[in-house]
Structure 1
Amino acid sequence: MRALILAAGLVLAGLPAVAADKPPPPASVLFWSQAQKEAGFPKMEAYFPMSTAARGDQVHELPAGAPLAVARVGGRTFDLAEYMAREKTAGILVLQDGKVRLERYGLGYGPEGRWTSFSVAKSVTSTLVGAAVKDGYIQSLDDAVTRYIPGLKGSAYDQVSVRQLLTMTSGVKWNEDYTDAKSDVALLFSTPADPGLDSTVSYMRRLPREAAPGAKWVYKTGETNLIGVLVTSATGKSLSAYLSEKIWKPYGMEKDALWMIDERGQEAGGCCLSMTLRDYGRVGEFLRTGGIGAS
């Protein structure tokens, strides 16, 4: 059966009023209203510092395929415009075999605009780990995390491998409750860093252990942020620069991507990577076809 890929469906959510010289803490995004999401997600660079993953000179084309006429969800058929309005959807792109079968926009969003990702960024960050292994920057996924992030030495991450960090099986205790202002995922972005340390490393090294490494899976945005720090440390390059080098330029993304950074210039590996809807589709195609030169 030929695969039908929903390359990207952006359920989009006006921005909080902030002083131009003082951006809001990244954790505030977790608690934005629907109106704030709809205004803020397409222009995160107006509110937070960002780095750029530059596109190249060539564009990977997405030719038109046979159009899809209806939207079917859960066995029900919907008028697409009605469905998008009801679900507050800003963009839908459906690709099949690299061809565009459906592309629609709403909420004032359009093909030239970027939209921020949250956990989709995790897949991009982990893909860069694969590139770093292939390039020889990371010797093995079974290496200790502390080999690449010395700031974690003496913490609950002492016996954790890169593989366990990637699979969120470190055994380190974590709370990912997006409705709780005291959860780890909220405090990660709002707790002042120890002097001389990356803010993610500073927070994560304070966490206690709750299980042996490899014994328990818990979803942890903080650990993908650590993966981003690890890639930067291993390669000596920012995540944005490495993304540009390994994917954005050679694969032919249509527009520069923007990635939220902290006060030390480190990208948030677990979230906050902004790109166009079609470039989300190209990321899907990059992964589906096996990368550069395989499509």
Structure 2
Amino acid sequence: MSKLTITITITIASIGICLALGGCGNTMLPKSETNMLFWTQDQRDARFRQIEKFAPGNVVAAGGAVRELPKGTAFPETLTVGGKPLTMDAYMAAQRHAGLIILQDGKVRFERYALGFGPQERWTSFSVAKSLASTLVGAAVKDGYLKSIDDPITRYIPELGGSGYDGVTIRQVLTMTSGVKWNEDYADPKSDVALFNDVKAEPGMDVTVSYMRKLPREAAPGSKWVYKTGETNLIGVLVSKATGKTLSAYLSEKIWKPYGMAADAIWVTNASGNEISGCCISARLSDYARFGQFILEGGIAAGKPVLPANWLASATTKQADIGVPGRGYGYQWWTYDDGSVAAQGIFGQGIFIDPKRKLVIASNGDWPKATMPDSAGPQRQAFYKAVQAAVDSGATR
């Protein structure tokens, strides 16, 4: 990839939501309450755990034997976070975490819930779903539905032909380096992220495709990274078209059932009835942790590889420079130069995976704001480092 020109828009939407629930059609809420960014904190606390009551979705079916997560050695109750001692309860309160789980070597070293949330409930993931969606691209390559991610995306979504996506590869959409112009500023009611799910789709066309094919090109493909939630939604259309299956059915078939997730998940759908692949899988915290463990173990489910042999090595390695030292962007994964990787969603959702330490940290939450770049966000990064340090020291309770 050529040296990248970096464009970063730090907005409510830029870390991870494809959806203001009222902008995706088929909403189950009154018009005055459809934009989840304007829900009160109490509304978010209640609705994040039952998003399927407020927006349509498809079931990601679990089934068969559940992948057990045995108890491991208890984790310390106090860590040094950002140079200061911080108890786990104090950290969860500061993050407004509804749930936090730490796995090491596949064993639960810490699991706790708050905000009236419990282990049998689901919580919506927001842009954590992006990393699951990109993994389904790898599965589709492994299964032969997609020949190569270096194929032009127009080969599989011909409706994009004659648009800014001519000559853009699947790889470039995965890394958000298509060169197609996009405005992710959610504060601007005329921005792309505010408009793209709320347009009337052309007949027989997904609403995302209908919008994205009208966007102009601003840079050569592969030369400029811009966070584009709309492109993650194109990934979902790509997988569905290639496989002939809904994303929910394909996720169930390839991962949810064979890996042994504990419960069904829900994937919110858009105005066209297709899953919003950039957002809003609702699942148990333990199943988010299981997905992290699935990635940590190399994408093996029921003893069989789900992904091509080299997929994860590329997907979880920096493919685009995002302008943050030590960080980057892979195939819809946020990367760290130490080899760790994260799926991130607004309001505090996340899955952090550290292969070197065989470590998975999954969190659900409801931050006071969608993004907290000056407080909760940096504290979470410091917490990840603190957990890594505790693992290195062999610390136990």
Q: TM-score, normalised by structure 2?
A: 0.66
User: Are 1:233 and 2:241 counterparts?
Assistant: yes
Unaligned runs of 5+ in 2: 1-20, 306-397
Mapping for residues 1-295 of structure 1, pairs under 5 Å: 22-24=27-29, 28-72=35-79, 73-291=81-299, 292=301, 293=303
Partners of 2:250 and 2:304 in 1: CA distance:
20
Q: Percent identity?
A: 61
Partners of 1:189 and 1:277 in 2: CA distance:
28
Give 1:84 deviation, angstroms.
1.9
Kept in 1, the 8 Å contact 2:27–2:55? The answer is no
Q: How many matched pairs?
A: 277
Give 1:22 deviation, angstroms.
4.9
Kept in 2, the 8 Å contact 1:30–1:179? The answer is no
For residues 294 and 131 of structure 1, do their structure 2 counterparts lie closer, same or farther at Cα, with a shift above 3 Å needed? Answer: closer
Q: TM-score, normalised by structure 1?
A: 0.88
Partners of 1:156 and 1:214 in 2: CA distance:
13
Give 1:150 deviation, angstroms.
1.4
Map of 2:387 onto structure 1: none
Partners of 1:204 and 1:188 in 2: CA distance:
7
Partners of 2:167 and 2:78 in 1: CA distance:
49
Partners of 2:214 and 2:276 in 1: CA distance:
19
Map of 1:12 onto structure 2: none
Q: Secondary structure at the match of 1:241?
A: helix
For residues 186 and 30 of structure 1, do their structure 2 counterparts lie closer, same or farther at Cα, with a shift above 3 Å needed? Answer: farther
Partners of 2:274 and 2:66 in 1: CA distance:
28
Give 1:174 deviation, angstroms.
1.0
Amino acid at match of 2:188: D
Give 1:85 deviation, angstroms.
2.3
Partners of 2:193 and 2:286 in 1: CA distance:
29
Partners of 1:22 and 1:221 in 2: CA distance:
20
Partners of 2:188 and 2:28 in 1: CA distance:
21
Kept in 2, the 8 Å contact 1:157–1:170? The answer is yes
Partners of 1:96 and 1:177 in 2: CA distance:
38
Amino acid at match of 1:32: W
Q: Secondary structure at the match of 2:178?
A: coil
Amino acid at match of 1:243: L
Give the aligned CA root-mean-square deviation in angstroms: 2.1
Give 1:231 deviation, angstroms.
0.1
Amino acid at match of 2:177: T
Partners of 1:181 and 1:37 in 2: CA distance:
22
Unaligned runs of 5+ in 1: 1-15
Give 1:70 deviation, angstroms.
2.0
Q: Which runs of 4+ in 1 moved over 4 A?
A: 24-27
Partners of 2:107 and 2:287 in 1: CA distance:
13
